[in-house]
Amino acid sequence: MPTITLPDGTTRSFDHDTTPLEIATGISEGLAQCAVGARIDGELCDLTAPITEDANVKIVTARKGEKESDPDALELIRHSCAHVMAEAIQRIRPEAKLVYGPALENGFYYDISFEGTAPLSSEEFDSIEKEMTAIIQENRPFSRYELSAEEGMKKLLAEGSKYKIDNANRAIEAGSDALTWYATGEPTEDWEDLCRGPHVPTTGKIGAFKLQSIASSYWHGDADSDNLTRVYGVAFVHKKQLKKYLKLLEEAKLRDHRVLGKKLKLFHIDEQVGQGLLLWTPNGAVVRQELQNFISEELKKQQYSQVFTPHIGKLDLYRTSGHYPYYQESQYPPLIDPDQLSTLASEGCTCGDLSNLMKEGDIEGYLLKPMNCPHHIRIYASSPHSYRDLPVRLAEFGTVYRWEQSGEIGGMTRVRGFTQDDAHLFCTEEQVASELIGCLELVKIIFKTLGMHDYKVRVGLRDSDSDKYVGASEQWDKAEDACRKAAESLDVPWIEEPGEAAFYGPKIDFIVNDVLGRPWQLGTVQVDYNLPERFDLTYIGSDGKEHRPVMIHRAPFGSMERFIGVLIEHFAGAFPTWLAPEQVRVLAISEKSNEYANTVLQALRAKGIRSTVDTCDERIQAKIRNGADLKIPWLLIVGPRDAEKNNVSVRKRGLLQDLGAVEMETFVNAVAEEIASRGSCPALETCFPGNDFSEDT
């Protein structure tokens, strides 16, 4: 005799087992019409799920008129759409073996095996979508049925799909004593799939969908296992939502740093130079230089010492640090003395022999540095230290090289050579906590100045099952605790993640998503008890005895390459004035005003403002458009009227209209101040106080 409590607190009692559908129908026919599922005591279920006991029930609805759909409804629709897609694909390609097809935050996919036959091609999307549309129009019910584990396995073995058998075995191992199928239509007659559910009641509830892309994946995510074809798609309650989403994706593409990087000439990657090796073109170099200046100023305030170190170091250095033995496969191969190499060659030394000799330390080579820490450590070790000197903070924009997997490289966010805004802090055990907090402060200042508020904080801890970590377990405990406490000091939410630690210690990472929703690790702060041990670093304590310092590695930007890649997307290429490669462009109305335009240009340049003048043989409309296209923050239109009064007519990027004329000197000073203050004294307010300008759309 279940009593049902609804979200508004009202209750309904039944004298028989009920279902969400019956509850919805009891409330109103309209509710039942748009119901697609339910949450029963918090668990997402089918509309026909039996309710035998008292429960809290929330009906999940999909209404076509709604602006925002219930995420639960979208999940049901997307998971169901994955089934419809799988059915359509199997109609066209009967040999396709289904593996796994879940809903995602932004859509769904189905992993499918085409073993031995041609894999699916996106050219087949049209015909698949046609089949899907037909299945949806037939408005067939999703019918759930259940078999005992034993019976179910018998059925699966008879059908012979190793993937589904595996899925079932996993379900049984996880404690399930029954297996469930969802047929699209009549059980045993229509298409069906082993599936835990839940699903929408009928295929017709899938209001709008689109297949997006084809990719590949590994079975169980294991690179040595079968290669599967993954088909991605999206589904919504209504066509309008789909259209809106697709438009959003289009817009995201225009913000992509790879697209903007070309358009705004920020960086270049050249086939002849090498994959993943970034060339900073003049515009991008300006952005990078400005950011480096910014961070250098902050470092001075925090009593860091600037150092410079070379790009290579002896192999033995990296044997000591552990990098060479532990991460050999992600380093560029060592550089070896040419004479030694030819001697070895004449002795018939093979590549394998060479590798072994290097591993054993029998021959010496040089390594392109994969990290800056060993060099900084040797700087620390170059002179004795008293506890009074600590903490020692050594900072360098240090370029490192890593042999990233070729399939991973792309744009500015994953490269093989990159410059970290690196620093290593050597401190006492007692200083760790406050130094960590100081590092996090720096990260916060940077993110705040740049207006980046949408980041995640992750505390990476060791994975107790793995043996890739170095150092004693008590040290790890201490270090992990210090990280938790430091993260606590940030007033932003953070998560702990076991297995995300560096091999030498735990860390605090800052993670930002790119326009396509892919997460990137930017800033990082890492505690390290291990390297001081390996390099036998010491300081003399107040007791006159030698003690071991603790190291902190930190890079608030992470790497200049990745950070600026994400930053380009953050600003959609429209950098604030202080970062913009070209800050002001002077547009002459006609040739008659070229001279005055040049006067204005000289005034700007005298203040160090990065500016150009456009005296080309075009009308002012075209000049404005060109300047706006390049996302230049300020365009100054100057003609005879302005020259007469020593004025400039101002156009600010992102604002709909021209702002009218202002005295040249006023403008130049205001922009110079905005730049010097890194945006905290906006020139707009200085030049046009009290005006409320509407944003361009």
Partner RNA sequence: GCCACCGUAGCUCAGUGGUAGAGCGCAUCCUUGGUAAGGAUGAGGUCACGGGUUCAAAUCCCGUCGGCGGCUCCA
* Residue 376 contacts RNA per CB under 7 A: no
Place of tokens 């800033």: 523
Alpha helices, DSSP H, located in 509-619: 530-534, 560-570, 594-606
CB of 590 to RNA, least distance (A): 2
CB of 30 to RNA, least distance (A): 39
* Residue 628 contacts RNA per CB under 7 A: yes
Q: Which of 205, 375, 402, 462 is catalytic?
A: 402
* Residue 591 contacts RNA per CB under 7 A: yes
* Residue 410 contacts RNA per CB under 7 A: yes
Q: Measured from the CB atom, is 192 or 528 closer to RNA?
A: 528
Q: Measured from the CB atom, is 4 or 487 closer to RNA?
A: 487
Q: Measured from the CB atom, is 122 or 139 closer to RNA?
A: 122
CB of 432 to RNA, least distance (A): 18
Q: Measured from the CB atom, is 427 or 637 closer to RNA?
A: 637
d(CA 695, CA 690): 15
Q: Which of 373, 427, 483, 687 is catalytic?
A: 373
Choose one: 141-149, 282-290, 397-405, 540-548; the region binding RNA (CB under 7 A). Answer: 397-405
Q: Which of 1, 92, 215, 279 binds RNA (CB under 7 A)?
A: 215
Q: Which of 78, 140, 507, 570 is catalytic?
A: 507
* Residue 358 contacts RNA per CB under 7 A: no
* Residue 116 contacts RNA per CB under 7 A: no
Q: CB count, 10 Å around CB of 493?
A: 8
Site size for RNA (CB under 7 A) = 77
CB of 9 to RNA, least distance (A): 41
* Residue 279 contacts RNA per CB under 7 A: no
CB of 468 to RNA, least distance (A): 7
Q: Which of 134, 248, 495, 516 binds RNA (CB under 7 A)?
A: 516
Q: Is 507 a catalytic residue?
A: yes
Q: Which of 33, 590, 602, 680 binds RNA (CB under 7 A)?
A: 590
Choose one: 134-142, 219-227, 482-490, 687-695; the region binding RNA (CB under 7 A). Answer: 219-227
Closest to 479 in 3D by CA, of 553, 396, 540 = 553
* Residue 121 contacts RNA per CB under 7 A: yes
* Residue 409 contacts RNA per CB under 7 A: yes
* Residue 65 contacts RNA per CB under 7 A: no
Choose one: 33-41, 218-226, 297-305, 568-576; the region binding RNA (CB under 7 A). Answer: 218-226
d(CA 204, CA 110): 20
Closest to 18 in 3D by CA, of 43, 44, 40, 50 = 50
Q: Which of 46, 422, 509, 614 is catalytic?
A: 422
Closest to 643 in 3D by CA, of 593, 604, 691, 584 = 593
Q: Measured from the CB atom, is 203 or 413 closer to RNA?
A: 413
Amino acid code (one letter) for 65: G
* Residue 227 contacts RNA per CB under 7 A: yes
Q: Which of 235, 291, 439, 637 binds RNA (CB under 7 A)?
A: 637
At residue 695, φ and ψ (nearest 5 deg) are: -75, 145
* Residue 646 contacts RNA per CB under 7 A: no
Q: Find the helix packing angle between 125-137 and 71-92, rounded to 10°.
A: 120
* Residue 99 contacts RNA per CB under 7 A: no
Joined together, the tokens standing for residue 374 give 């060993």
Place of tokens 């073109």: 281
Q: Which of 241, 331, 420, 583 is catalytic?
A: 420
Choose one: 21-29, 37-45, 323-331, 447-455; the region binding RNA (CB under 7 A). Answer: 323-331
At residue 157, φ and ψ (nearest 5 deg) are: -65, -40
* Residue 127 contacts RNA per CB under 7 A: no
Alpha-carbon torsion angle 620, 623, 627, 630, nearest 10: 150
Q: Is 424 a catalytic residue?
A: yes
d(CA 307, CA 426): 14
Amino acid code (one letter) for 253: K
CB of 240 to RNA, least distance (A): 24
Give every strand in the sheet of 584-588, ordered side by side. 611-614, 584-588, 634-638, 647-652, 660-663
Q: Which of 313, 365, 370, 549 binds RNA (CB under 7 A)?
A: 370
* Residue 165 contacts RNA per CB under 7 A: no
> Residue 654: helix, strand or coil by DSSP?
coil
Choose one: 241-249, 438-446, 635-643, 682-690; the region binding RNA (CB under 7 A). Answer: 635-643
* Residue 245 contacts RNA per CB under 7 A: no
Q: Measured from the CB atom, is 11 or 216 closer to RNA?
A: 216
Q: Is 427 a catalytic residue?
A: no
- Per CB under 7 A, contacts with RNA among 485-514 are 502-504
CB of 231 to RNA, least distance (A): 10
Place of tokens 């560029």: 332
Displacement of CA 639 from its chain's centroid (Å): 46
d(CA 393, CA 530): 18
DSSP string, 25-55: HHH-HHHHHHEEEEEETTEEE-TT--B-S-E
Choose one: 47-55, 77-85, 347-355, 410-418; the region binding RNA (CB under 7 A). Answer: 410-418
Give the CA distances from residue 677 to residues 69, 358, 575, 673, 681, in Å, rounded to whole numbers and listed in that order: 43, 52, 15, 6, 6
CB of 83 to RNA, least distance (A): 20
- Per CB under 7 A, contacts with RNA among 569-588 are 588
> Residue 47: helix, strand or coil by DSSP?
coil
d(CA 274, CA 87): 44
CB of 260 to RNA, least distance (A): 11
Q: Which residues of 593-620 are buried (b: 16+ CB within 10 A; e: fewer)?
A: bbebbebbbebbeeeebbbbbbbeeeeb
Give the CA distances from residue 528 to residues 48, 260, 469, 504, 550, in Å, rounded to whole numbers and listed in that order: 55, 38, 12, 6, 6
- CA 533-539-542 angle, 5° bins: 135
Burial of 276 per CB tally in 10 Å (0-12, 13-18, 19+): buried
Give the CA distances from residue 171 to residues 225, 458, 486, in Å, rounded to whole numbers and listed in that order: 20, 31, 40
CB of 265 to RNA, least distance (A): 9
Is residue 183 a contact partner of residue 46, using CB atoms and an 8 Å limit?
no
Is residue 332 a contact partner of residue 368, using CB atoms and an 8 Å limit?
yes
Binding track, positions 527-556, relative to RNA; x by CB under 7 A: ------------------------------
Choose one: 39-47, 174-182, 374-382, 589-597; the region binding RNA (CB under 7 A). Answer: 589-597
d(CA 470, CA 528): 10
Q: Measured from the CB atom, is 22 or 500 closer to RNA?
A: 500
d(CA 271, CA 266): 17
Q: Tell me 383's DSSP state.
A: S
Q: Which of 408, 497, 595, 665 binds RNA (CB under 7 A)?
A: 408
Q: Is 420 a catalytic residue?
A: yes
Active-site annotation, residues: 373, 402, 420, 422, 424, 507, 553
